[in-house]
Structure 1
Amino acid sequence: MSVIAVLIDDLFEDIEYSNPATAFENEGHELISVGIREGSVVKGKKNAEKVIIDRSIGQVEVEDFDALFIPGGYSPDRLRVNEQVIKFVKDFVESGKPVLAICHAPQLLITAKVLEDRKVTGWKSIKQDIINAGAEYLDQEVVEDRNLISSRYPGDIPEFIAASLKKLQ
């Protein structure tokens, strides 16, 4: 099965992490949480979920993983100021391996400058940012464009999980 990097920081959207993570693990995929500092504990916006960072961004390479999962919330905005994170995201998208992004996750893709001529969705407040990054914004539950799977918000989680699991096969 796949080894999935989960790029995450404080204030992630709890359910956008927990539901897909549980579904991926139930299908036999291994999740490795990647963040700024190994061993730190990051918390969801609603404090319902806590995640221990398995590896710092400085310890990982795209080659270590089969897919990248980016939950939404404020986590992507917090991560996008880190140059190592941006390089990792850019290299991951360019590798052709699956990138699974929900809600505010496209903020990282925007900063990594990998959305030109792509189709993507995300939370409505970042629609114009996505368009300004050169992508076509689609207001749909799931948008799949080559290796990129994106969804808008927590209400799309079942469809996001289904599309992601299909991509991971």
Structure 2
Amino acid sequence: MTDSLPLAGQKFLLFVGADYEDLELWYPKLRLEEAGAETTMAGLESNQTYLGKHGYPAESEATIESISSSDFQGVICAGGWMPDKLRRYEKVLSLLQEFHESEKLIAAICHGGWMPISAGIYQGVKVTGSPGIKDDLVNAGAIWEDAPVVVDRHFVCSRRPSDLPDFCRGILNVLLSK
């Protein structure tokens, strides 16, 4: 059974908050679980139901404040308007910095790149993201590429919901190459 569940025993963090992009949170969550991983959705409050931009509910299982990066093999930063709000919290930024220092997966799609930008971890990293944050990415020192997925070491980035199949393949490729 382990062969069919290549991520069994691994845990991944997904940030959640109001106005997250529905597909960009749920698709990677379910894909990781399909591969055997455990996922934790963390928001500013525990057991809080947040609505996505399209109205799909997601319940936080933990508070961001209670999270330790050492408990996870990676983090998913979904898009929507949520990243602009969450990047204002020091704990979000310190968690992303810790994931980066440990060379653990940091995956951001669409506007999710706002959080790694604010954490100061994109300097010299090849990325993509929503064209709406291209200038922010470039100004943060990232190397912009307009592609469905960009993988640079432990970073995986995509532009929009239609890139999700490529995004999740990129995530799995990074995780399975370690």
Higher relative contact order (CA 8 A, sep 6+): 1
Q: Distance in 2 between the 1:104 and 1:4 partners?
A: 19
Instruction: Work out whether 1:9 is the aligned partner of 2:49.
Output: no
Q: Which runs of 5+ in 1 are unaligned?
A: none
Instruction: Work out whether 1:113 is the aligned partner of 2:120.
Output: yes
Instruction: Please give the TM-score of this superposition, normalised by the length of structure 2.
Output: 0.91
Task: Give the residue type in structure 2 aligned to 1:65.
Answer: F
> Which residue of structure 1 lines up, in the alignment, with residue 41 of structure 2?
33
> Percent of counterpart pairs with the same letter?
33
Q: Which runs of 5+ in 2 are unaligned?
A: 1-7
Displacement of 1:168 in angstroms is 2.2
Displacement of 1:135 in angstroms is 0.8
Instruction: For residue 105 of structure 1, give the secondary structure of its aligned residue in structure 2.
Output: helix
Q: How many residues align?
A: 168
Task: Give the residue type in structure 1 aligned to 2:147.
Answer: Q
Instruction: Work out whether 1:78 is the aligned partner of 2:89.
Output: no
> Which residue of structure 2 lines up, in the alignment, with residue 158 of structure 1?
165
Instruction: Please give the TM-score of this superposition, normalised by the length of structure 1.
Output: 0.96
Higher deviation after alignment, 15-24 or 115-124:
15-24
Which of 50, 71, 79 is the equivalent residue of 1:42? 50
Q: Distance in 1 between the 2:155 and 2:58 partners?
A: 24
Q: Which runs of 4+ in 1 moved over 3 A?
A: none
Q: Distance in 2 between the 1:133 and 1:100 partners?
A: 17
Q: CA RMSD in A?
A: 1.0
Task: Give the residue type in structure 2 aligned to 1:69.
Answer: I
